[in-house]
Structures are given as structure tokens and as C-alpha cells.
């Protein structure tokens, strides 16, 4: 799983940028993980949904089941 993540990160972010220093690279990696990979990038295990959309669908199903 980690190998897959790093492969995606390298092709989607790392190889497309030039970093002037370590802090710039570190900031770019954190932004990629937090704003793109974890939140907006469609995930295959969610049926191609973005994580926020999958969470909303899950919460809707829970509310319907509880009603």
C-alpha cells in the first residue's frame, strides 16, 4: 500500500515541480497529502468517489437506517 501511495505522489506531484529547498518540498508533500490525496482524489475502493462524497453517502445511509 505504501508503495502505491508513493508511486502516485511521485507521478502526480513530485516529478512535476522543482523545489528550491527542503521546506518547500516538505510543504508541497503535506499539501498534496492533505488537500488532494486524502480529500479530493477519487479512490477506487470507494467506487471512484471522492472521500468527502463517500463519507456523505455513508452518513446518509446511516441516517436512513436509524429512522
What does the pLDDT look like over 3-32, one tens digit per residue? 888 888 888 888 889 999 999 999 999 998
Please tell me the predicted confidence (pLDDT) of residue 24.
95
User: Is the torsion defined by CA of 61, 44, 4, 6 positive or negative?
Assistant: negative
pLDDT at 1: 64
Distances (CA, A) of 11 to 43, 49, 66: 16, 21, 43
Poorest-pLDDT segment among 9-13, 14-18, 35-39, 63-67: 35-39
| 17 contacts 28 by C-beta, under 8 angstroms | yes
Q: Give the domain ranges of the chain.
A: 2-66
* Cell numbers for 37: 490525496
Residue 54 C-alpha from the chain's centroid: 13
pTM for this model (two decimals): 0.59
**Which whole number is the average pLDDT over 29-56?**
86
Amino acid at each position: 500500500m505504501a508503495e502505491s501511495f508513493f508511486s502516485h505522489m511521485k507521478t502526480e506531484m513530485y516529478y512535476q515541480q522543482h523545489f528550491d529547498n527542503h521546506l518547500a518540498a516538505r510543504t508541497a508533500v503535506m499539501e498534496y497529502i492533505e488537500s488532494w490525496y486524502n480529500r479530493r482524489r477519487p479512490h477506487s475502493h470507494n467506487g471512484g468517489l471522492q472521500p468527502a462524497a463517500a463519507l456523505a453517502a455513508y452518513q446518509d445511509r446511516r441516517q436512513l437506517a436509524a429512522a
